[in-house]
Structure formats: C-alpha cells, structure tokens
Amino acid sequence: MRKKRVFKKGYKIAGIIIIGLWMVISTGFLIQTFFKTKEVPPEEKEEHSYRAAYHFTAPDHWKNDPQKPVYYEGTYHYYYLYNGDYPDGNGTEWRHSTSKDLVHWKDEGVAIPKYTNENGDPWSGSVVIDKENTAGFGKDAFIAVVTQPSKNGQKQEQFLWYSTDKGKSFKPYSEEPVMKNPGPKDFRDPKIIWDDTRRKWVMTMAEGSKIGFYESDNLKVWRYTSSFSTENLGVLECPDLYRMRADDGTEKWVLGFSANGKAAGKPNTYAYWVGTFNGKEFIPDQQEPEWLDYGFDWYGGVTFEDGQERDKLDKRYGLAWMNNWAYADNTPTMEEDFNGLDSIVREIELKHEGENQYYLSSQPIEALDELSKVSNAYEQIKVNGSKTLELKADAYQLEADISWSDLQHAGFRLRESADKKRHVDVGISSEGNYSFVNRSFTEHPDKSNQYVESIAPFDAYKKKVHLKILVDKTSIEVFVDDGKVAHSNLVFPQPDDKGITLFSEGGKAVFENVRVKHFDSIN
C-alpha cells in the first residue's frame, strides 16, 4: 500500500515537475515573444535627402531670385521669388522668411501674392523700411517696388506694394505703375537705397545692357538721372548700388549686377565696379568689371547692411541663388518636391590693392561656427601623390594652408567615393596660374558638360595658398586666400560619397593647419 501510495505520489510529483517545466518553457517563450515584439528593430539605413544641411532651401516647389534682406527690430526679413505651382509654371510671388543670425530661418509664408489683379505675378524688386514716412503709409512701413508684366501689352513696369504689419503681408498701392515702361523690352529688378548724404531715395534699374539711375523723394514719383552701359555681358539683372569704407579708410561706391560674361570668357555671376557716385551718375575707377564669384551657381546676388552695427560702411553681407538658367530645372531634389538653394551668407569687405585699386573680398559668415560642435585637426600633412583622411562627411567647412616648391596641381578631392572614381576636385594649378573647382567626376546638373570646371586667376609665383571650402549635400563653395576669389557650384554626389583626399601632381605639397568643422543641420 505504501509503495502504491509512494508510486502515485511519484507520479504526482513527476506531473508537477512536468507541468512546472512546461510553464517555465511556455513563460519563457511568452516572455521572449513579448520582448521580441517590443524591442526596437535594427536601425534602418537613414533615407537619403538632397535637402541641404545648413543652406537655405525652398520649403517646397521652387525658389529663385533673392530680394535684398532688411533688418527691423532685431530680425532680418528676407523675401524671395517662389512658385508654389512649380513645375507647372504659373508665375512667381514673394515668399517671406525671418532670421536672427542669418543661418537659421523661419518660414513666414507668402507676403506678396501673384495674380491679385491684371498686372500679373510679382518679379524681382526690393523692399525698404520707410523710417521717415516719406511715402505716407506710416513710419517704418515696409515699401516694396516690384516688377510686374502689366496688362499694358505685357510690358515690364514697376508697381508699389506696402506693408503696415512689419512686413508680414503687403497691399498694392495702385493697379497703375509708379514707373511706366519708357520703351525697352527689359525694364526690371528695381533696387532702392536711401542716400543719407543727399536725403533722397536712389534706384538702379536693369535695362538690357545698361543700368538706369533714378531718384525720388517719396518712393512714388521717380526721376531719371543717368545710365551705365556695358558690353559683352548679356542682359543685366538684379542691380546693386552701395557705399563702403575700404580697409585704408577710403569711402567708395560699388555698382554690381548679375551678368553673363560667357561670351567674353568671364563668369555668369555677379559683376561689379568700384568707383564714385555723385547722386546722379556712377563713375567707375576701372573699365573692366571684377567678379564676386567665379563658379557657375551664384546668380541674382544681393548685398545688404549689417543691421546690428552702428557703422554700416565697414562690411556688408551677401547671398545669391545657387543655380544657373542653363540647367535650372535639372535637379534630383524634385524627387522631394523642391527646387531652390541659396548660397551661404557671406561677409563682404572692400580692400585696397595697389594705386587706387579696390576689390571686394568675401568670407563665410562667422555665425556658421555655431553649427559646429565636432572638428578634426591636422597640423601638417606632406603629400606626393595622394593621402586620404580617415574621416567621412557631407556637411562641413574644410580649411588649409598649402605650400610647395615645384608642382603642377594640388588640392582636395571631396565627396569622394570608396573606389576613388567619383569626386569633386578643388585646388590650384601652379603651372596654369589658376584656382579651380572641377565637378566633372561626380553627378552635376549640366548635362551638356559645358559647365564642369570653374577657374579663376591665381598668382602661383608665391607658392602658397589658403583655401576655405564649404561642403554641403548639393554644393561646394570655395574661398581662395582672403576671399577676393570665390567659386560656388552645385553638385549631386551619391549619398555614400563622403571621402576626403589630399592630392598633389607633379611634385610635393605641404598641407598645414588642416581643420574640418562638421556642421549640424538647420532643418
């Protein structure tokens, strides 16, 4: 009996053990299953975007010409041509963004809409703040004078819009132009400044191959005063007139505009002259223009005052549309429903060179440094052939001093692929006396391959150069030495092409003070 009871008890114990094991296994399975459903899946490869990390881009659809930003109550107000119907055409309007530091931007929506009347869509122009209420819309009213192809035979004429809500929205002053077209086909892009020495408004107007000068007391009635004619620069656009103080203390006037110098072997960017302005006409110091950029993609450029400085003459800021009408629609960003990139904002100074010679130098705005929290430094790297850095990146500033005794070319291969076949080359040609940016070895917007290597004069006799290079997902901007020469070019490298290689050809080069500042995204 006892054995029988023990036998039954053994079965009972065994059953309990089996049931317990089953519960443990089942519970473990359930726990494992539970945590499998809750655990974070393996990190997926980040989806690539062509939206720039630290450049201003269109929020959607299309942007082109910048309008000169104005500063009011601690904020820069920036307007630009925007087409929310792109790529289906239908004209532009003025979209508005604001910034405290000229790096981070807040979208404020459309400020001047298109097709509110028969005058059509607003094109380029300029906005000023009427501090003394000369136009009668109130102190500190925002006044814009804008080109519109009016109902008057589709002639380009100038219309006035005004804002009394600190630039958020504009109303048309009249359906009639404040400046009727006097006859030329091209009569557009009015740019207005306040001439504080003569107490009047001064306007420059793009009129084909010349710039017209006008004056006004109230922004509504304009009087012609003179013109400035050019040769071999195509149809001029987006004129720019301003006064600056050079580094030797001399005050000069600068006249700039977007021009196409391709016929004369010159850039298709921002041409300028330094000279004098007597309130009526501009007299240049030299016959030939200088160029603010030698790349293919710095067009519709504007300059503007530093709003925070009491003295406005020592420096200015500048930016431009990074594109080219030769291939403006050829961009992979359209897969993300936008087409439009601006250059970084530059700080511009006027510098003295030789007897009565002056030029503009430009450098990236210092506020960009606030985006950099990680950097790499190399004190000296000797290169005879090529050396590849271990780091990889697609949004950064690269700076270096390069020196040599005898060589043909030296510089950097940027956005380089792992197999070294794809890259953008930036450097100098000692044998050719030029600096260059060559995008022919990577994807770029010009399918005709006419615009693949931008070059600019360089004095190779000094056997050294300082390069500052800004790299973003779809752009390369290069500043040579003090920034008298700059190159701005669009590129569309493959997502994983992030290598950096130093190269020299035909001799040895020494790269010193190499600094790479990695930039965070502003988006």
Residues 119-133: tens digit of each pLDDT? 999 999 999 999 999
For the cut 90, the answer to whether the pLDDT of residue 23 exceeds it is: no
Q: What is the pLDDT of residue 46?
A: 59
Task: State the average pLDDT over residues 158-178.
Answer: 98
Taking residues 156-184, what's their average pLDDT?
Answer: 97
Q: Is residue 318 over pLDDT 60?
A: yes
| Residue 117 in this model has a pLDDT that exceeds 50 | yes
Give the span between the Cα atoms of 211 and 240, in whole angstroms.
10
What rounded mean pLDDT belongs to the chain? 92
Backbone angles phi, psi at 25, to 5 degrees: -65, -45
SS3 content of the chain, % helix, strand, coil (to 5): 10, 45, 45
Phi and psi, residue 343, nearest 5°:
-65, 165
| Model pTM score | 0.90
197: pLDDT strictly greater than 70: yes
Q: At residue 305, does pLDDT exceed 50?
A: yes
Exposure class string for 201-211: b at 16+ Cβ within 10 A, else e:
bbbbbbbbbeb
Identify the three-state secondary structure at position 382. Answer: strand
pLDDT at 86 over 80: yes
Residue 328 has pLDDT above 50, yes or no: yes
The DSSP secondary-structure symbol of 179 reads B
Return the bridge partners of 272, or none. Answer: 256, 290
Q: What angle do CA 38, 39, 45 make, to 5 degrees?
A: 130
User: In the predicted model, what is the mean pLDDT of residues 336-361?
Assistant: 96
Token pair belonging to 139: 């102190």
User: Edge-to-edge strands of the sheet including 346-352?
Assistant: 299-305, 316-321, 346-352, 358-364
Are 483 and 467 in contact by the 8 Å Cβ rule? The answer is no
User: What is the per-residue pLDDT for 173?
Assistant: 98
Question: What's the pLDDT score for residue 3?
Answer: 29
pLDDT tens string 411-444: 999 999 999 999 999 999 999 999 999 999 999 9
What pLDDT shows up at residue 410? 98
Q: Quick one: pLDDT at residue 14?
A: 39
Active-site annotation holds for 65:
yes
The DSSP output letter for 341 is: B
Question: Measured between alpha carbons, how far is 349 from 81 in angstroms, rounded to an integer?
Answer: 27
State residue 4's pLDDT score: 28
Position 393 scores a pLDDT of 97
Question: Mean per-residue pLDDT for 170-191?
Answer: 97
In the block, tokens 């000169």 appear at: 68
The whole-number pLDDT of residue 493 equals 98
Band of pLDDT at residue 355, cut at 50, 70 and 90:
confident
Nearest to 476 by CA among 374, 364, 360: 364
If residue 201 lies in a helix (H) or strand (E), which one and from where to where? strand 200-207
According to the model, what pLDDT value does residue 387 have?
98
Q: What is the pLDDT of residue 27?
A: 40
Residues 26-51: tens digit of each pLDDT = 444 333 333 333 333 444 445 889 99
Confidence band (pLDDT; 50, 70, 90) for 13?
very low
Give the C-alpha separation, 339 to 341, whole Å: 7
pLDDT for residue 359: 98
Structure confidence at residue 354 (pLDDT): 85
Catalytic residue among 65, 189, 240, 297: 65
User: Does position 448 have pLDDT exceeding 80, yes or no?
Assistant: yes
Beta-carbon contacts of 253 under 8 Å, excluding residues fewer than 6 positions away, are: 241, 242, 243, 244, 274, 275, 276, 277, 282
pLDDT at 10 over 50: no
Q: In 3-state terms, what secondary structure has residue 470?
A: strand
